[in-house]
Amino acid sequence: MSDRSALHRYALTLMTILLAVGLFHWVPIAEAASAEGPASKKAGLTKSKSAEYWFRKGSLCATYGNDLAAVAYFKKAIALDPRDKRAYFSQGVSYGQLGQYTQALAAIDRAIELDPDNGLFYYGRGRVQLLAGNQDSATNDFKKAAELGDEDAQLYLGEIKAPEALKLE
């Protein structure tokens, strides 16, 4: 019985934290079933959410490994703001995690078109290239990312020494 009680306390604590940061909206199951009705408007489930809302929702899903949902949420963010480079990049990373490398590279390429001086985008594309088995393309992306100051790429290429905290022994 105490395990169940501890689980309930954990769930309540988690919901409280999510409510506090605005990432979770409490909606009774009956109201959630009819997302078009008046109850959904009271609960904040209207179709007028901002691109930032969908981007954050996608980021949260990606953080917890639900890349399929993350891709869908990033797609909604992009539909509302087609110049949101973060959403394209994040969508690309999630596609990469799903093994959908063609879609991943297309999304990250779009992010790079929007912000060609962002080293993180080249590093991310390099990681997807590695997953796809494209070693030469990955190396070129890591070099470009390092040139733009991305420390992860520099570390990968051995241009800087890993901080003591990152060394594995």
DSSP codes joined into one string, 148-165: TT-HHHHHHHTSSPPPGG
Select the CATH number that applies to the domain covering 47-166 from these four: 3.40.630.30, 1.10.645.10, 1.25.40.10, 1.10.287.610.
1.25.40.10
Domain ranges of the chain: 1-46, 47-166
pLDDT for residue 49: 86
The pLDDT-based confidence of 94 (bands split at 50, 70, 90) is very high
Query: Mean pLDDT throughout 94-113?
Result: 98
